[in-house]
Structure 1
Amino acid sequence: MGKPFNFLQAAILKSLSKALFHKVDIKLTHDQIVANVQYQFGLIPGDTPRTIGFTLYAVCLALWGPLFLLLPASFGAWRLRVLSRSQVDILQDIARIRGIVYAGYYGHWQGETQDDNLDNPVLNAIGFTLPAHRVRGPGEVKIDYFPGRDLSHSDLVPHDAIPSEVDVIVIGSGAGGAVAAANLTAHGHEVLIVEAGALWNSHDLSHEERRMTSKLFVDGALQNTVDHDVIVFQGRCVGGSTVINNGIALRVNQPGMTHPDAVDVFARWASLGAPVDVARFHHAYDKVSERLSIHPIDPKSGRNNGPHLLNGWAAHAAATGDPRDLAAPAKWFSKNYGPDSIGANCAYCGYCNTGCPYGRKQGMAQSFLIDAHQGGAKILAETKADAILWRDDCDEDGKRIADGVTVTLPDGSHRIIRARKGVVVAAGTLASSRVLQKSGFGQSGTNISLNIACPVVALMPTELRVWDEDQMATYVDCGDFLLESHFQPPMSMSTLMPGWIEDHARRMLNYNRLASAGILFPADRRGHMENGNLNLTLRSDVELPLLRRALATLTKVHFAAGALEVYPALLPGQTLYPGDDIDAFFATAIREADDVTLSSSHPHGGNARNADPAKGVVDLDCRVHGTTNVLVTDASTFTSCIRVNAQLTTMAMAYYATEADPF
């Protein structure tokens, strides 16, 4: 594996490391940190390393070029502090490059196994213990592997044995594609599932964060919107994002689980021209939930960070007395882990977002893909679907008929695979839109919605060790936004942690005393695909005021739970204290999206359902308008933002579209 960054880029990284750790007692040399960054980016396929390399040149120029490289680290640290307070967009974007250096330090990994890292100096310095070395007492779940649930590599179609034609080609193996494929095989169709990513079964996964994020995520977890304001996390592997998510399974507008004042999603869809048969959709929810054994998590799996949010919310709501706050459901998440009845319940290791090495999460590769494969479906991994091919003739109504799909193999060669009956597109909102646009549907990729997250970290008076539990355990539905408990392993936490130089280091050294949660707010139908990338802008009169109010609310909840300090994810890295005027702070601190660290893990829309072809890409049965035999069965079919985690609703939509044979 070569080094993706050249000599000058490596020198810039080294100077950045010296500046970011100026007067900080670090446990690695700066050369080791640069080597770690080189290794991590060497694992990322595509153009991402090259893009970051060019950004490093821009960083160097912003930090006064040769002076930054030649003068002592104190100069670089001073320039970084100036940069962190800048309001120039390009400088704010450049400032975020710091996360790469922090990942190079806190993502340090030795050898191959957890045992190789018993003396990992970085992890030991912050008091972090890897799962294999944690002591679990009576009544606790052992952190060990639950066998027999994974697809194997022998289940995949070799690249030298790709069928020339099948009945149905399903593009994508995630939540939408896997469920559709399972139903289609049950209808007797010969199905080929085409997946751009590789298969990572449980034994392939590890707790080496840098390797897993580089390999399992699109663009190494650095995919972002055109203006770089929002990072968009999506999986690129067999099973899609179900491999790297937290297993959260929420229904839209579920009684008792949703705020009574929240928008009625199905009514909103109907008002836009895209009604669903509500009874049928809930039947789809039920069937998916039954197959995945979805159930509320065991409170002991989120014993500290989960109650921190619930208790803080209860105290906050009691203090405000606002009927809207008092009506807000504050609940434990339901998830597709386990089930406990067979001893496969979650081992709450805290690494959900880089895959479960213990075979305990029922992602698509442990459930619907196995169902599809047992029904005869073939799975073709590490193969990118490029576009749909069309027959020369149309049907009697003038509708186009799909003839097959063009694909690109790992060696860069291209193949055509014919589809006798039809094509299902389920590669996720962004990738599905790209495929459809390349297939001649220019209206695809419009009205994309995001549930946008933003973290807020709190310093507590005593040690909590919330990393030894489920990453996301509880939530509060506030009506127009959600609060969700969450915590990350060291590398990921360091990139989310606000603060610079010694402030950032101090916060990471208090890793065992941190609690963390995030907000989740909707950006409804705000995005569109532009040259293959997502363009999305938050409005100054809608999303930004909601963002300020949600962050202020979560900050108050942290303090109500006893926090001593709160660190909202703002670029300058400010610290808030009890007694501060929190509303006034956020009113002035956030003027644009660039001021805040924002991310999204479940984009949806782009190929919306609608009865009117002028207003949607697919019809009410998820069939692409103007075609006879092309369906879309992923979250891109959602007509508007659903507010909550999209996993379960994506699966239900795929089931809804394919329970009856669509071909």
Structure 2
Amino acid sequence: MNAIEQTLRAVAEAVLSDRDAAKVDLDALADRMAQIADANPNIGPRTRLKRLLKLISSRLGMALLGAYGPFASQPLSARRQTLMRWSTGRPLQRTAFQALKRLALFAAYGCEPSLWPIGYEPLEPSAGFDLETSDLPSEADFIVVGSGAGGSVAAAALAQAGFDVCVLESGINPRQLGLNEADGFHQLFLGGGALTTRDLSVSILAGGALGGGTTVNWLTCYRPPTLDQWERDSGLPKRKIEEQIERIESRLEVNDNPVELNLSNLALQRGCQNLGWSVHRLRRNGTNCADRCAPCTFGCPYGAKQSAPLTYLKDACAHGAKIVCDAPAKRILFNRDRATGVELSNGEQVMARRGVVIACGAIESPALLLRSGLRGIGANLSLHVTTATFAQYDDPVSAFWGAPQAVACDQFLDEGILIETPALYPGFAAAAFPWPGDPLEPGLAVFLSIIADAGEGRITLDRHGQAVIDYRPGTRTSERLLKGIEEMIRLHEAAGGRNIRTLHQPPTDRPGKIVPNRIGLFSAHQMGSCSRAVDALGRAKGKDGLFIADASLFPTSLGVNPMITVMALAAYVAEDIVASS
């Protein structure tokens, strides 16, 4: 066993409780940690993690982090003291702690059945999407880069109008759906599920396979509450967007059919009712879910989730569109100021006779445009930055089963705070919860607060040409995060929860300051990062034949789950392209 392997084993032993460490093979766990670290497709973060492991494997490196002797040579109690000190120390120490803790706990609880909580039983995966993909053509009328909420709708509209359409998807066409947690994150999420801001303070979840976010989201279908503001400030016509929403909801079969509430949803509803707060059942694009949900995050194995591959991509293919997977776009090709095609990362090219539609999402769309030489791109990034609280309940139902999001509390929506419930998986939960502690206590229920932030983020490129996410919550966003925590605690108390905790490090039952890597922060909705480079019709300023049709168009943070809004804006953009072509 080399020095890095010894360090990984020592980290795993220190992070796990004595009880849980005794249940696993620590050598095998160290191997799994190394495999997960090596599988990160983002070169920069993967390299930084390897440097960290090398650093703490040496006496000098540990001295730079304020400790003595190689990490693996310290007694177990000293290793735990070192990690605890780092968890509240200087920024570099906090970043190191979070990287090590998350890696060890995800590898352990996400992959080791002996650590899974009562009530969690992964299903057998089903076959993947019944959607034919193609080889790369030499040319098409329109190239659509991205197959998620925006790209699928744009592709369908253009194909139905009679144009020859090629859809480029950087990720895979999954052969299986309803995957286990480790495989699901690796195969279906951007960055293999390991994507974060540059400083690791915000974990980023974004779809990274065929169907994008529509394949991995939790089916929640909100109408946008911002249309009046967007029409007034940005020229987006409210009536036309609402017309598109009606069509989108019909195609996705959006409904409010009741589903059985799991523990988190049951507790949220009960807490709101006991406080007299506004709570409502969510509208969802699921049909015949039949209360058998569990693996929504890793692709619906029942075909109940009306995701893009079952709806708009299917429509696009029926009208002749070609879908090419494993086709990451490197840059857009131009003839002077007109978009003429796309070059892939392997050097292959596909030419566009009429135009290129960018719909890679608010992280990858600006990265592609920056690699293509455009400027003024990447600012105004909103993340719907999210945190959570958790508590124990005596209810006989589990939070690890059932519809992930079925009810929501919109009592504070006008203040930029929406309270919902997350899907719960052992590895992700253990990596997110504060340390030390039992991350998967019996009767666990979790609430999350989605914050309408103020566009404090920015996308830039690293030296490898990959996206770098910088984000620091401003004063207003931090105030909303703290208020969201306070109100979630009140909800847990009103619902009968006990041992209530926030995601602050170290563990606490009261709100604290919003300090990077001292509180668990997440983002499942990214938006706004191209809004300053386009007009109200999604046309790139100063470029002909180049359009943007995804959440990066949003002028401001939305405040609610964005899928329906993304699709409606993409339909609006595509309608104008058809009319002008």
2: CA distance, partners of 1:336 / 1:568 = 31
Paired residues of 1:59 and 1:94 also in contact (CA < 8 A): no
C-alpha separation in 2, matches of 1:621 and 1:85: 47
Long gaps (5+) in structure 2 = 462-466
Report the equivalent of 1:290.
Answer: 250
Q: How far apart, in 1, do the equivalents of 2:323 and 2:364 lie? A: 18
Equivalent residues of 1:350, 1:489 under 8 A apart: no
| Aligned alpha-carbon RMSD (Å) | 2.1
Partner secondary structure for residue 537 of structure 1? coil
The alpha-carbon deviation at position 303 of structure 1 amounts to 4.1
Question: Which residue in the other structure is 1:546 paired with?
Answer: 480
Contact 1:433 1:445 in 2 (8 A): yes
Q: 1:369 to 1:84 in 2, by over 3 A?
A: same
Counterpart of 1:34 in 2: which secondary structure?
A: helix
Structure 1 residue 641: Cα displacement? 0.7
Residues 386 and 451 of structure 2 are in contact (CA less than 8 Å); yes or no, is this contact kept in structure 1?
A: yes
Q: Identify unmatched segments of 5+ residues in structure 1.
A: 1-5, 110-119, 134-143, 254-264, 319-325, 393-399, 577-584, 609-615
What is aligned with 2:464? Answer: none
1:381 aligns with 2:325: yes
SS in 2 for 1:166: strand
Report if the CA contact (8 A) 2:174-2:187 is conserved.
Answer: no
2:308 is aligned to 364
The answer as to whether partners of 1:544 and 1:592 remain within 8 angstroms in 2 is no
Map of 2:525 onto structure 1: 602
Measure the CA separation in 2 of the matches of 1:127 and 1:227. 34
CA deviation map 1:14-64 (0-9, x unaligned): 111111235324311211211222333444434243332223245552373
Partner of 1:113: none
CA distance in 1, matches of 2:327, 2:269: 44
The equivalent of 1:562 in structure 2 is 496
Partner residue in 2 for 1:157: 134
* Residues 132 and 380 of structure 1: CA distance in aligned 2, closer, same or farther (over 3 Å): closer
Q: Does 1:198 align with 2:172?
A: yes
Letter in 2 for 1:66: G
- Cα distance in 2 between the residues matched to 1:172 and 1:349: 27
8 Å contact kept, 1:448–1:526: yes
2:54 matched to 1:34?
Answer: no
Q: Which residue of 2 aligns with 1:490?
A: 426
TM superposition shift of 1:482: 0.7
Cα deviation per residue 1:213-269 (whole Å; 9 max; x = unaligned)? 11211112121222322112111111111111111110112xxxxxxxxxxx22322
- Aligned residue type for 1:56: L
Structure 1 residue corresponding to 2:156, chosen from 154, 171, 182: 182
Indicate conservation of the 8 Å contact 1:346/1:360, yes or no. no
C-alpha separation in 2, matches of 1:65 and 1:647: 50
Which among 415, 423, 433 is matched to residue 348 of structure 2?
A: 415
Residues 461-540 of structure 1: pairs in structure 2 closer than 5 A: 461-477=394-410, 478=412, 479-480=414-415, 481-500=417-436, 503-504=437-438, 507-508=439-440, 510-511=441-442, 513-531=443-461, 532-539=467-474
AA aligned opposite 1:77: R
Task: Check if 1:92 corresponds to 2:94.
Answer: yes
Amino acid corresponding to residue 12 of structure 1 in structure 2 = T
Equivalence for 1:220: 192
Amino acid at match of 1:28: V
Question: 3-state DSSP class of the match of 2:569?
Answer: helix
**CA separation in 1, counterparts of 2:314 and 2:179?**
25
Q: Deviations over 1:323-344 (max 9, x none)?
A: xxx5xx3112211111x3xxxx
1-side partners of 2:69 and 2:240: how far apart? 65
The match for 1:639 is: 555
- Alpha-carbon offset, residue 151 of structure 1: 3.2
Please report how far the alpha carbon of residue 350 of structure 1 lies from its aligned counterpart in structure 2 after TM superposition: 2.2
Aligned partner of residue 335 in structure 1, secondary structure: coil
Measure how far apart 1:654 and its partner are. 0.5
Q: Which amino acid aligns with 2:434?
A: P
Aligned to 1:105: 108
Equivalences for residues 344-359 of structure 1 within 5 A: 345=289, 347-359=291-303
Letter in 1 for 2:378: G
| Residue-by-residue CA offset, 1:533-562 (whole Å, 9 max, x unaligned) | 1222212x3111211111011011101100
Mapping of residues 262-273 of structure 1, within 5 Å: 265-272=226-233
TM-score w.r.t. the length of structure 1 is: 0.81
> What does residue 127 of structure 1 align with?
118
How many angstroms apart in 2 are the aligned matches of 1:403 and 1:385? 14
For residues 196-345 of structure 1, what are the structure 2 equivalents within 5 Å?
A: 196-201=170-175, 204-253=176-225, 265-272=226-233, 274-300=234-260, 302-316=261-275, 318=276, 326=277, 329-338=278-287, 340=288, 345=289
Counterpart CA distance in 1 for 2:400 and 2:189 is: 22
Q: Does 1:55 align with 2:52?
A: yes
Following the alignment from structure 1 to structure 2, what is the Cα–Cα distance between the partners of residues 303 and 23?
A: 31
Tell me the residue number matched to 1:66: 69
- Give yes or no for contact 2:6–2:72 (8 Å, CA) kept in 1: yes
1:425 has 2:425 as partner: no
User: What is the one-letter code of the residue matched to 1:465?
Assistant: S
Greater than 4 Å deviation, 4+ residue runs: none
**2:385 counterpart SS class:** strand
How far has the Cα of 1:189 moved from its partner?
A: 0.3
Aligned to 2:573: 657
Percent pairwise identity = 23
Residues of 2 paired with 1:8 and 1:356: CA distance? 41
Asked if structure 2 preserves the Cα contact closer than 8 Å seen for 1:223 and 1:232, the reply is yes
Q: Determine helix, strand or coil for the equivalent of 2:217.
A: coil
Choose from 15, 25, 37 the match for 2:10. 15
Q: Which amino acid aligns with 2:6?
A: A
SS of equivalent residue, structure 2 residue 184: helix
- 1:573 partner SS: coil
What amino acid sits opposite 2:115 in the alignment? V
Q: Deviations over 1:190-218 (max 9, x none)?
A: 000011101015xx134321111112111
- Equivalent residues of 1:176, 1:634 under 8 A apart: yes
Judging changes above 3 Å, is the alpha-carbon distance between structure 1 residues 347 and 52 closer, same or farther for their aligned structure 2 residues? Answer: farther
**Residues of 2 paired with 1:563 and 1:356: CA distance?**
31
Secondary structure at the aligned position of 2:453 is classed as: strand
Question: Taking structure 1 as reference, are residues 41 and 658 closer, same or farther at Cα in structure 2, changes over 3 Å only?
Answer: same
Check whether the contact 1:41–1:214 (CA below 8 A) recurs between aligned residues.
no
**Is this contact kept in 2: 1:524–1:641, CA < 8 A?**
yes
1: CA distance between counterparts of 2:381 and 2:39? 30
**Secondary structure in 1 matching 2:6:** helix
After superposition, the Cα gap between the structure-2 partners of 1:367 and 1:73, relative to the gap in structure 1 and judged at 3 Å, is same
Q: CA–CA distance in 2 between the matches of 1:242 and 1:55?
A: 35
Aligned to 1:579: none
- Asked if residue 402 in structure 1 is aligned to residue 325 in structure 2, the reply is no
Q: Is the 2:262–2:397 Cα contact (8 Å) retained in structure 1?
A: no
Partner of 1:260: none
